[in-house]
Structure 1
Amino acid sequence: MNEEVLSKLKSVQWSWPMVLVSVLSFLLIYRHYGGYYYRSTMAKVLLFCVSVYGFIIACILTPLRCTHLINYSVAKVMRASSRFWTGLEVDCEGLELLDQIKGPAIYVCNHQSSLDVMLIGVAYRKNTSIVAKKELKSYPFLGWFMTMSNAIFLDRKNRDSAVKEAKQAAADIHKKGINVWVFPEGTRGHESQVTLLPFKKGPFYMAVQARVPIVPVVLANYYNLYSAKEKRFNPGTVKCRILPPISTKDVLEESSEVQKLADSCREQMLNALKEISPQKKADK
Structure 2
Amino acid sequence: MTALRSYLFVAWLYGWMAICGLLYLPTMLLPRVAAQRCIRLYAHIIRLGLKLICNIDTEIRGRENLTNEPVIYAGKHHCMLDIFIPFIVCNDPAIILKKELLFYPFLGWYALKTQMIPIDRAGTSKTLKTMVAAAKKRAAQGRSLIIFPEGTRTAPGAEPAYQPAGISAFNKALDLPIVPVATNAGLCWPAKGTRRTAGKIVYEILPAIPPGLDRKALMPRLEAELETASNRLLEEGRAVQKEILG
Instruction: Call closer, same or farther: CA 1:121–1:155 in 2, change over 3 Å.
Output: closer
Instruction: Spell out the pairing of 1:125-144 with structure 2 (5 A cutoff).
Output: 125-144=90-109
* Alignment correspondent of 2:168: 204
Q: Kindly report which structure 2 residues correspond to 1:92-241, keeping only aligned pairs within 5 A, or say none.
A: 92-98=60-66, 101-117=67-83, 120=85, 124-191=89-156, 193=157, 195-220=159-184, 222-223=186-187, 225-226=188-189, 233-241=196-204
- Larger RCO (CA under 8 A, 6+ residues apart): 2
Q: Structure 1: which 5+ residue stretches go unaligned? A: 1-33, 252-256
Per the alignment, in what secondary structure is the counterpart of residue 167 of structure 1?
helix
Please identify, of 77-86 and 268-277, the stretch whose mean Cα deviation from structure 2 is larger: 77-86
Is the CA contact 1:221–1:278 (under 8 Å) kept in the aligned structure 2? no
Q: Is the 8 A contact 1:216 1:242 kept in 2?
A: yes
Asked if 1 retains the 8 angstrom alpha-carbon contact of 2:177 and 2:208, the reply is yes
- Which amino acid letter does the alignment assign opposite residue 80 of structure 2? S
Code of the residue aligned with 1:108 in structure 2: it is: A
3-state SS of the aligned residue for 1:271? Answer: helix
Q: Deviations over 1:67-90 (max 9, x none)?
A: 554543443333334333332212
Q: CA deviation at 1:273?
A: 1.4
The offset of 1:93, in angstroms, is 2.5
Q: 1:222 Cα shift? A: 4.3
Segment of structure 1 superposing worse, 181-190 or 146-155: 181-190
Gaps of 5+ in 2: 240-246
Q: Give aligned pairs, total.
A: 238
Partner AA of 1:241 in structure 2: E
Match of 1:277 in 2: 234
* Cα distance in 1 between the residues matched to 2:149 and 2:16: 27
Check whether the contact 1:108–1:181 (CA below 8 A) recurs between aligned residues. Answer: yes
Q: Which piece of structure 1 moves more, 82-91 or 148-157?
A: 82-91
Range moving further from structure 2, 211-220 or 200-209: 200-209
Bigger-Rg structure (1/2): 1
Q: Separation in 2 of the partners of 1:124 and 1:273?
A: 19
Indicate the residue corresponding to 1:88 in structure 2.
56
169-178 or 180-189: which moved more?
A: 169-178
User: Is the counterpart of residue 53 in structure 1 residue 20 in structure 2?
Assistant: yes
Q: Which amino acid aligns with 1:105?
A: V
Deviation at 1:40, TM superposition (A): 4.0
Contact 2:78 2:191 in 1 (8 A): no
| Deviation of the 1:180 alpha carbon | 1.3
Q: In the alignment, is the contact (CA less than 8 A) between 2:33 and 2:114 conserved in 1?
A: no
Match of 1:63 in 2: 30
TM-score by length of 1: 0.71
- The two structures, once aligned, show a CA RMSD in angstroms of 3.1
Distance between the aligned counterparts of 1:121 and 1:177, measured in 2? 15
Displacement after TM superposition at 1:66 (Å) = 2.4
Match of 1:14 in 2: none
Structure 1: which 4+ aligned runs deviate by more than 4 Å? 226-232, 279-282
